[in-house]
Amino acid sequence: MRQAGRLIPEYRKIREKHEVLEICKDPDLCANVTAMPVETLGVDAAIMFADIMLPVQAMGVKLKIEEEIGPVISEPITDKRSAGALQKLDPTSDVPFVLDAIGIAKKRLDRKASLIGFSGAPFTIASYLIEGRPTRDFTKVKALMYRDPEAWQLLMETLSDSMATYLQAQVEAGVDAVQLFDSWVGCLSPQDYRKYVLPYSRRIFKKLENSGIPRIHFGTGTSNFLEEMKLAGGDVLGIDWRIPIDVAWKRLGDDVAVQGNLDPAAVLAGIGLLKEFAADILGRVQGRTGHIFNLGHGMLPEASAESVAELVKFVHESTRTDTK
């Protein structure tokens, strides 16, 4: 998650000349940046260099990704009329560059690392579209959700159909796994999650049921409703650091895999303590099949590439059963 952007000096050089969305729209450059974390940090998977708001721009939303802030929308959605103005995504004509970049990145990774495709989940995208920019309290999105159920339904339907089609197109272009990012859904109560979000996220996973690849469902602040999130149908649940991984997995049950759950701030600790944090997670997991070691959320800008490379090496050494 936002791994390349934050720490690789070579990426930072590219960013001096190009905006995030500009990189996304240049398939060669995008594939190059996508492969960087595998090549310099040694991670086992690359995530497509894109942004959750990239397809939304193609759906007619005027947006910018502002430095240190994130996505900013000039005309936020306020009612049914503005929700209805959002066009459905047609991936082949609207975001062909993403699909082209997947082909190039796959060749470049040469089966040495998996390639993860992704999209934002309807709730998290809707929160940007309604709030207009990153927020702490999500009051506008909740107000619309409670007061204008028709506008909410229309918006969530358009987003879930479009994201399902988008992910399906990425599967056809060759990604090895897909991830649905519901980064901000933890602001909801379990009851509201069930009522206002679950039906739409479930729809996306349902449409990808026969994709034949793992479907990862990511959220933060979701310890209160992991069981509800499981109902959406992902094969892997991403969990943040606010809950011990073994406790979360026990609650989720044996029939799902888990991804996580190192606190991103642990990477800022000295290498000794960082390894202790990682060893704690591995100790709780006890080598169970179906664990993807990862941070509980995105890489912090303050993290150093050296620490991350050390961490990757440590996890590999602690978990490899072969002698390679």
CB-wise, 50 or 151, nearer to ligand CP3? 50
Among 234, 244, 238, 247, which residue's Cα sits nearest to residue 220? 238
Site string for ligand CP3, 61-100 (x = CB under 6 A): ----x----xx-----------------------------
| Minimal distance, residue 20 CB to ligand CP3, in Å | 5
Residue with the closest Cβ to ligand CP3?
A: 5
User: If binding is defined by CB under 6 A, does position 229 make contact with ligand CP3?
Assistant: no
Q: Enumerate residues 106-135 that contact ligand CP3 by CB under 6 A.
A: 118, 134
CB-wise, 186 or 275, nearer to ligand CP3? 186
Q: Using CB under 6 A, pick the residue from 49, 166, 241, 249 that binds ligand CP3.
A: 49
User: If binding is defined by CB under 6 A, does position 3 make contact with ligand CP3?
Assistant: yes
| Minimal distance, residue 179 CB to ligand CP3, in Å | 8
User: If binding is defined by CB under 6 A, does position 15 make contact with ligand CP3?
Assistant: yes
Q: Using CB under 6 A, pick the residue from 20, 29, 95, 248 that binds ligand CP3.
A: 20
- Residues with catalytic function: 2, 6, 15, 51, 128
Instruction: Decide: 228 and 206 in contact? Cβ < 8 Å.
Output: no
- 259 DSSP β-pair partners: 238, 292
User: If binding is defined by CB under 6 A, does position 18 make contact with ligand CP3?
Assistant: no
User: If binding is defined by CB under 6 A, does position 274 make contact with ligand CP3?
Assistant: no
Size of the site for ligand CP3 (CB under 6 A): 20
CB-wise, 118 or 138, nearer to ligand CP3? 118
| Minimal distance, residue 273 CB to ligand CP3, in Å | 24
CB-wise, 183 or 307, nearer to ligand CP3? 183
Burial (CB count within 10 angstroms: exposed 0-12, middle 13-18, buried 19+), residue 71: buried
- 237 DSSP β-pair partners: 217, 258
CB-wise, 9 or 270, nearer to ligand CP3? 9
Among 236, 270, 268, which residue's Cα sits nearest to residue 252? 236
Which residues of the shown chain bind ligand CP3 in the complex (CB under 6 A)? 1-5, 15, 20, 47, 49-52, 65, 70-71, 118, 134, 181, 183, 298
